[in-house]
Structure 1
Amino acid sequence: MTTPPVPSPPPFGRALCAMVTPFTGEGALDLDGAQRLADRLVAGGCDGLVLSGTTGESPTTSDAEKSALVRAVREAVGARASIVAGIGTADTLHSAELARAAEKAGADALLAVAPYYSRPPQDAIEAHFRELADASALPLALYDIPGRTGVRIEPETMIRLSGHPRIVAVKDCAYDLMGTQKVLSRTGLAFYTGCDEYVLALYALGGAGYISTVANAVPRHFRSVIDAFGAGGTTEAARLQQQALPLIELMMASGLPGAVTAKALLGALGLPSGPVRAPLRPADRAATDELLAAYEELTA
């Protein structure tokens, strides 16, 4: 039987937030709001921030806005947290350009979603990620979210890609615990769950931590889950995970995208958020009230 590799220290920290991209009321990039939100998240226990991901509305922000966001958040958090910049597009050359721009802007690492729409086969997906990993000197995390991209990064593809020195992690939104464990047992890739309901489950299986949308509102709560587990408090960790379920369900499984629900809740709390950009539409008052009630119950 093959001996599993010894896990490496988490490359980007353990508690990461998939940060929203704040906009002004007129829809422009709100860099001051981004800095204030980033500072709050780090003070709340996040040791990493993912910018320009799904929750950060990356399909509707420009290349210049993505770079400006990295620079502003770097200025706000300094060395207190890692900054992981989303660079994934459906175009390999464009993604490579974004990788170089993120490095220049001050990012610590890159996150790249599988190339969507074109539905490339696995050998093309592998070549795509190798090209992105070669585009800069920064470490790269693979973002496996077939529900949005229409294509998997198959476990065997991840295993092959793990041999590249700069491909170091996975953001796992595939809902395939069998496949995840297969890769964990055969590589040193750091797995971060991108599904808030799996924060404890994946961590207990040897995952590195999480990249959470719900943490935009309650960063300290999710940090407490993994801290409790790490200290041997498995029952307490389970209680905390389950306690967050009503808010997780409303934010992530209510039929509204996480960017919409996160911005609605942050706005209701008076925190930087602003509107979402089209084609997304804001949450209505009833949904916002439900989110706020679940937040208040969790933080009471």
Structure 2
Amino acid sequence: MKLGSIGTAMVTPFNEEGEIDYEVTRLLINHLIENGTNSLIVNGTTGESPTLSEEEKEKLLAHAISIVDKRIPVIAGTGSNDTRGSIRATKRAEQLGADGVMLVVPYYNKPDQNGMYVHFKSIAESTSLPVLLYNIPGRSGVNLSAETVIRLSKITNIEAVKEASGDLEQMAAIIEGTDDTFSVYSGDDALTLPLMAIGGSGVISVSSHIVGLEMQRMIHDFHNGNIANAALLHQSLMPLFQSVFSKPNPVPIKYFLKKVGLPVGDVRLPLIGISEEDSYLDLTLQTFKQQFDSKWE
């Protein structure tokens, strides 16, 4: 699974009627590839997957694969809290030509560790595609433990984990307990540099929709030993990272994208868009533009 340093969890553009806007999706994908995205995650949390029908998910994935045209890997979010449903979605993603699948920890059911192990094992054994696990206890209600990730890493095509637990100790334990071929990615933009400092591979990002090149510069500086400059970039990006997650994802990032000229539309209910009281987002964007003038000229 060649995710690179930055995989972008892509928003799903909607038109004024709340339907998927495939033309804006094309513009968005090309924008992401040109601005530092090494791999694309479709139908994830940021893509508002809970509000998409199975038909919409399949059509959006097929469209993304066509537009990307093998320039970067396309990873399909096919996980759910229904193992059989996830297997069906995973098989369909393979048929459509996805380069891998992302499987979220089952939400609402609250399975124990053995239940999660069997769930992921069953899905992985149903496909030849590489598997990216996705641990996000804040949304799923349960934490996929380091021990279970290490156990799952022994399954041939389970190759990486997106860790959105915010627990660097857990991430360190996974890195220590898995082979060098297994990759650990941050699910939080703000932990990109700290995770890489302990051996992580990169980030599955939301902020990369608008600051992918700056994040790539930070990662490049880190890999090339310019730690001080990487740290300065991290500090400069932090206010934007915080703003992107100041409201339920993807509400702020869709707002920012519209502000920089990509009309990705609003979010679907039960999420609601940005109100006039949220002017702090405009201030964050203005401050960022002043710091990185070259990007916005």
TM over 0.5: yes
The aligned counterpart of 1:128 is 119
In the alignment, is residue 204 of structure 1 matched against residue 197 of structure 2?
A: yes
| Structure 1 residues 295 and 107: CA distance shift in structure 2, 3 A | farther
> After the TM superposition, which parts of structure 1 deviate over 6 Å for at least 4 consecutive aligned residues?
none
**Structure-1 separation of matches of 2:27 and 2:95:** 22
CA displacement 1:226-279 (0-9 Å, x = unmatched)? 111111111111111110011111111x2x112000111111222041110100
- Hey, what's the Cα distance between the residues in 2 that align with 1:297 and 1:103? 44
- Report how many residues are paired: 289
User: What CA distance in whole angstroms lies between the structure 1 residues aligned with 2:215 and 2:158?
Assistant: 26
Aligned to 2:176: 185
Find the aligned partners of 1:272 and 1:135 in 2 and give their Cα distance.
38
1:231 lines up with 2:224 in the alignment: yes
C-alpha separation in 1, matches of 2:11 and 2:80:
18
SS of residue in 2 equivalent to 1:120: coil
Take 2:290 and 2:276, find their aligned partners in 1: how far apart are those partners? 18
SS in 1 for 2:165: coil
- C-alpha deviation, 1:291, in angstroms: 4.5
Contact 2:36 2:208 in 1 (8 A): no
Matched letter for residue 171 of structure 2: T
Structure 2 spans left out of the alignment, 5+ residues? none
Map Cα deviations across residues 100-148 of structure 1 (whole Å, 9 max, x no partner). 1111222101111100101111111100000110121111111011011
- Are 1:38 and 1:73, in contact at CA under 8 Å, matched by a contact in 2? yes
Measure the CA separation in 2 of the matches of 1:294 and 1:121.
45
Separation of aligned partners in 2, 1:234 and 1:294: 24
- Listed one character per residue, the Cα deviations across residues 190-223 of structure 1 (whole Å, up to 9, x for unaligned) are 0110101111111121111111111112111111
Residue 115 of structure 1 pairs with residue 84 of structure 2: no
1:170 Cα deviation after fit: 0.3
1:289 aligns with 2:273: no
Per the alignment, residue 170 of structure 1 pairs with 161
TM-score using structure 1 length: 0.93
Partner of 2:62: 71
Contact 1:193 1:202 in 2 (8 A): yes
Alpha-carbon separation, structure 2, partners of 1:16 and 1:70: 16
Q: Would you say the 8 A contact 2:2–2:73 is kept in 1?
A: no
Among 227, 244, 264, the residue aligned to 1:251: 244
Aligned-residue offset at 1:167:
0.5
Over the residues paired in the alignment, what is the CA RMSD in angstroms? Answer: 1.3
Assess if the C-alpha contact under 8 Å between 1:158 and 1:183 holds in 2.
yes
- Which has the larger displacement, 223-232 or 290-299? 290-299
Give the TM-score taking structure 2 as reference length. 0.94
Q: Give the letter aligned to residue 92 of structure 1.
A: T
Aligned counterpart, 1:218: 211
Inter-partner Cα distance in structure 2 for 1:140 and 1:294? 38
| Equivalent position of 1:195 in the other structure | 188
What is the distance in 2 between the residues matched to 1:159 and 1:115? Answer: 18
Amino acid of the residue matched to residue 188 of structure 2?
C
